[in-house]
Structures are given as C-alpha cells and as structure tokens.
C-alpha cells in the first residue's frame, strides 16, 4: 500500500457513529498526479524515516495546490481534554454547528467544497495546570478557507462564532480575557501558520502520535487522482 493511499485510508475508515455529519467527498481538480505525489512522499520517508516530514509535505501540497486558508482559528475546550477522541468529538460538533450557522442549512444539506469553505483541523498537546498539577491537554487549530465574499471579514467571523456557534457548543471555552481566550481568530499568514502545527508536534512528539496532528475525520483534504 502506498504512503498516500495509507493516509487517505486513515481519512476514509475512521467513522464516528455518535453524530452524523457532512463528510468531504474528496473532490479534486488538481493537475498534480497521485503517482507524482506518492513518489515524493516515499522519497521523503526513505530519506528522513519521519512520518511527520511526510505529513509536512502533504500539508504543503494542500496549501499550494488545493486551497490556501484565509483564517487561522484557535479553539480551547473547557473540559481540558487529554484524550484525542474527546478532542475530535468536540471539533466535529463545532464543525457541524459552524457550517449550519454559516450556511443557514440543515446538516444533511451542507454542500462539499468548493461550494462551502474548506476546513482543516489540527490538534495539539501542550502543558496546562489543572488542580495544581501539570498535564498535557489538547487544544485545536482550524485552518479555514474564505467565506462568501460579503461575509469574509474578521468582524463577521467573530460575530458568527461568538454569537451563533459558541452558545451551541457546550465544550467550547467561553472566556474572552487576554491570555485565556476560548477562541482566537487571525488572518491566515503563510510564514506564521502554514506549518505552525508541526512546531508543537516536534516539541511534544513523545507525547502524541504523528497521525493525531491532522484530524482526518473532520478535515477537508483534497488528494490528486491518477
């Protein structure tokens, strides 16, 4: 099995029965062939023996050939999750609420990209203090594509998340104090955000699996076809 097929299978076979949600269909309009990309991934793995480096190339492919995000959003969870499946579940619920509120459509009628913004989720672990002791807890970063032209503004995205999405996502941290905001929204910047999530992975690689960096279940990756 090729590296890229293995990665695609991770995205396809991880199902969650607790909540139905709109899933990406894998629509692709890129000129780069899957064969070329897979050869590139195999070469990187042979040279580095690092799955993280393979993921870095997949991420680069996404940003350079599929879509480039417009917004970088940090999400903190009020239960300070330490289990990846808990964090993935929180992100799934956020994703569903976000899309239904943005598009004003029921979940079953939510279209796939490019007829809605792309979403790519990453989960990271960092030290936090809880009950007087340090633990490694997950938080989430969302790389979000452009909203419809008339809505693609920071003020609207802030309003949408804080006023419409947050009240419907119980586990989303509601604080707005400096240094402890439950939601932080920034314009996406290549230099700062393209590989931002891999920095924390390398710092805490002994505490989390490589395949937990990208949330394949909730994200909208686009892979090339033959």
For the chain, 226 residues long, give each residue's pLDDT as a single digit of tens: 554 555 445 444 443 433 444 444 444 444 457 788 888 889 999 998 887 788 888 888 888 888 899 999 999 999 999 999 999 999 999 999 999 999 999 999 999 999 999 999 999 888 888 888 999 999 999 999 999 999 999 999 999 999 999 999 999 999 998 888 999 999 999 888 887 766 545 444 444 444 447 898 999 976 665 5
How many helices (DSSP H) and strands (DSSP E) are in the chain?
7, 4
Task: Flag whether 226 is in a domain.
Answer: no
User: Which DSSP helix (H) or strand (E) runs through 13?
Assistant: helix 3-13
Q: What is the pLDDT of residue 28?
A: 44
Task: Flag whether 218 is in a domain.
Answer: no
Domain total in the chain: 1
Burial string for 83-119 (b: 16+ CB within 10 Å, else e) reads ebeebbbbbbbbbbbbbbebbeeeeeebeebeebbbb
Domain span at residue 146 reads 3-19+27-212
Task: Flag whether 43 is in a domain.
Answer: yes
Task: Flag whether 217 is in a domain.
Answer: no
Task: Flag whether 224 is in a domain.
Answer: no
CA–CA distance, 31 with 116 (Å, rounded to integer): 22
Q: DSSP characters for 86-111? A: HHHHHHHHHHHHHHHHHHTS-GGGPP
Task: Flag whether 54 is in a domain.
Answer: yes
Task: Flag whether 222 is in a domain.
Answer: no
Task: Flag whether 78 is in a domain.
Answer: yes
Q: Taking the model in full, what pTM does it have?
A: 0.78
Burial string for 37-56 (b: 16+ CB within 10 Å, else e) reads bbebbeebeeeeeebebbbb
């Amino acid at each position: 099995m090729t590296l890229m097929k293995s990665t695609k299978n991770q995205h396809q076979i991880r199902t969650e029965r607790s909540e139905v949600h709109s899933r990406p269909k894998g629509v692709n309009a890129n000129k780069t062939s899957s064969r070329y990309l897979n050869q590139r991934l195999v070469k990187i793995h042979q040279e580095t023996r690092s799955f993280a480096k393979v993921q870095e190339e997949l991420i680069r492919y996404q940003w350079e050939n599929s879509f480039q995000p417009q917004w970088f959003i940090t999400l903190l969870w009020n239960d300070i999750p330490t289990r990846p499946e808990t964090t993935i579940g929180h992100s799934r619920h956020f994703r569903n609420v976000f899309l239904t509120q943005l598009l004003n459509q029921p979940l079953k009628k939510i279209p796939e990209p490019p007829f809605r913004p792309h979403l790519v989720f990453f989960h990271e672990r960092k030290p936090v203090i809880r009950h007087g002791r340090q633990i490694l807890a997950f938080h989430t970063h969302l790389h979000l594509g452009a909203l419809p032209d008339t809505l693609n503004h920071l003020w609207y995205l802030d309003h949408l998340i804080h006023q419409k999405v947050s009240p419907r996502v119980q586990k989303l941290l509601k604080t707005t104090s400096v240094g402890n905001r439950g939601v932080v929204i920034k314009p996406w910047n290549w230099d700062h955000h393209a590989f931002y999530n891999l920095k924390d992975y390398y710092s805490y690689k002994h505490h989390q699996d490589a395949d937990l960096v990208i949330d394949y279940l909730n994200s909208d990756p686009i892979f090339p076809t033959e």
